[in-house]
Amino acid sequence: MKPDRFDNLSRLAGLLYKVDSTIASIRLRLYATRTGLGLAAVLLSVFGLTMLGVATFYALETLWGPIVAALIVATAAFVIAIILAVVAATAKPGREHDLAMELHQSSLDALLAEGRAATRDLTSIDLRHPFDNALLGLVGPLASILVKGIRKTPKDDTNKPA
């Protein structure tokens, strides 16, 4: 087997790790943004409901006065909460996520091709003992199972609301 094969396999596995780390970092930032904006929307809506309750109380106590101010504050809080909820629900990961996914796929394909070449090199070795040949015959299927396991990732849920 050529020594370059192991170097290439190691380099490609390292590249795949870096790309997957970048994808995870991008998704984490997206989820943190969605969560923060969603929390702000919830807090503002709670404040709006509180002010609406205060406005109702003042409406029952007196017909005019601080009611208008409380209703305006409650309405403004609801409008802001709705805007934040819409922004949080429509946040997209951006172009960098697409680029990272393309890099992930290309590095996985290159790793798979290099693994196949290494398997061909291993199976072409003439060994004297039958168990050695059997072990070399298992390397290819085991490597392909490993790569298929890496390739199977959970469905992309970055477009789902938080």
pLDDT digits (tens, 9 = 90+) for 98-151: 888 888 888 888 877 877 777 777 666 665 666 666 666 666 677 777 777 766
Asked whether the beta carbons of 137 and 150 are under 8 A apart, the reply is no
**Prediction pTM value:** 0.44
Q: Which of 46-50, 61-65, 96-100, 155-159 has the lowest mean pLDDT?
A: 155-159
In a domain, 42, yes or no: yes
- Please give the average per-residue pLDDT across 83-87, as a whole number: 89
- Please report whether residue 131 resides in a domain: yes
Report pLDDT digits (tens) over 2-17.
567 777 777 888 888 8
Structural domain includes residue 161: no
pLDDT at position 32: 92
Does residue 162 sit within a domain? no
Burial class (CB in 10 A: 0-12, 13-18, 19+), 22: middle
Quick check: is 97 in a domain?
yes
Phi then psi for residue 114, to 5 deg, are: -65, -35
Domain holding 125, by residue range, is: 3-151
Inside any domain, residue 115:
yes
* pLDDT on residue 152: 63
Q: What number of other Cβ atoms are within 10 A of residue 5's Cβ?
A: 17
Residue 56 is assigned to a structural domain of this protein: yes
Our count of domains for the chain comes to 1
The per-residue pLDDT for 162 is 45
pLDDT of residue 35: 92
